[in-house]
Amino acid sequence: MFDQADQSVSAAPLAADPATGRQAGPAQAVVLLLASCLSVLGAVLLAPVLPRIQDAFAGTPGVATLTPIVLTVPALVIGLTASIAGRVVDRIGRKRLLVGALVVYAFVGTAPLWLSSLPLIVASRVLVGLTEAAIMTCCTTLLADYFHGAERERYFGLQTVYTTVAATVFFAVGGLLGSWGWRTPFWLYAVSLPLAFIAARVIRQPPQTRTREKLPPLPWRAFLAPVGVTLAGGLVFYVLIVELSYVLDGIGVTATATVGLVSAAGSLATAVAAYLFPRLAKLGPAATIPAAFALCGLGILVLALASSVPVVLLGAVVTGLGNGLMLPALLTWALGSLTFAQRGRGTGIWTSALFIGQFAGPLIVLALAGAASGLSLALLVVGAAALLLAMAVGVVRPTRSAAGPVSR
């Protein structure tokens, strides 16, 4: 079943430029990979200036609650709306929605430069999340449309590499721009305008014949398992990003240089594992997904028990390696059972599951920490759960295509 699916997909015609007949290649991939980084821009760019935003609107009722929402609400909106974006992608086409969303993203992203109230800024961030949901769904769907087999796995891995590196860069840039005022980082959202222009010229809409007909149903029997595991994966993936500084603080490390160094090591490990994913992908999701959760589980357990910086560093690197394998492996599993006419909705639902898991992760860890009287015990629970999930997925033995041969 596994080989038949790959052969069927590989034999299908790839998206080609109607004017030249040339198939999609690295130019289209780079545009999609760069556009994928915009969701990271929304997540980390403003983190360094949140205290300044809170100070600027100190007289606003509920400012202590509204200020962190400025940072987190786009991820929540992506989680709630990406599945809807996926249906639009299958209905009206990939390219049209991508270019339109990139243009709107620039306007709603830079809106806080001129808005004078915190509630209005929060409302603009909701719109940022809507456009990010469309952009992420279109980019991932087009990567799956354009490339198949080992080449698709390579670009799924590179998508994680690009976004991981972008997170590090955007965090630093946000801090640098923030030195000129808390509004200054919002100018960076205008980068989507040149991306929209390039996408309009470079991206090719794959052939599409079902836009006015009833869309074919999704293969839920094959699709529910990867979506459910992705929901848990989003939670596990975000533990390192959110909790690492608290782990270091718990052992008495407060120097920002040390926190930054350990965080950078974890991010580097994520990028390295994602870059190596195409070489490991030949083992199939039955091996890569359990390996990803096992690495994350072991790394989180090390973080839970750590009492010194070298041990925390070890835990961060092991968890980062698991994170780098996890996203491309889950995406390969989820999209392997979908046809062209199902892929937009499937990608949207997968993206929703990932971001809902990421949004809920810190809240679940916080609740566990309260119930268990400490972060260490909470991380022990999460780490053990990740290991159990690794074993459970290993028993299920997922394949790239659980529903038989895939067609365009």
**pLDDT tens, residue by residue, 217-243:** 777 877 888 999 999 998 998 888 778
Whether residue 45 contacts residue 125, with contact meaning beta carbons closer than 8 Å, is answered with no
pLDDT at residue 403 tops 90: no
- What's the predicted TM-score (pTM) here? 0.77
Side-chain-side CA neighbours of 136 within 13 Å: the count stands at 34
Name the DSSP letter for residue 111.
Answer: G
- Neighbouring-strand partners of residue 23: 16
Whether residue 350 contacts residue 227, with contact meaning beta carbons closer than 8 Å, is answered with yes
Domains of the chain: 24-205 (1.20.1250.20), 219-400 (1.20.1250.20)
pLDDT band at residue 404 using 50, 70 and 90 as cut-offs:
very low
What is the per-residue pLDDT for 97?
93
- Please state, as a whole number, how many other Cβ atoms lie within 10 Å of the Cβ of residue 58: 9
Q: Give the model confidence (pLDDT) of 283-333 as tens digits.
A: 888 899 999 999 999 999 999 999 999 999 999 999 999 999 998 899 888
310 CB-near residues (< 8 Å, 6+ apart): none
> What are the two backbone dihedrals, phi and then psi, of residue 190, each rounded to the nearest 5 degrees?
-70, -10
Rounded distance between C-alpha atoms, residue 49 and residue 60, angstroms: 17
Question: Inter-axis angle of helices 220-250 and 375-396, to 10 degrees?
Answer: 150
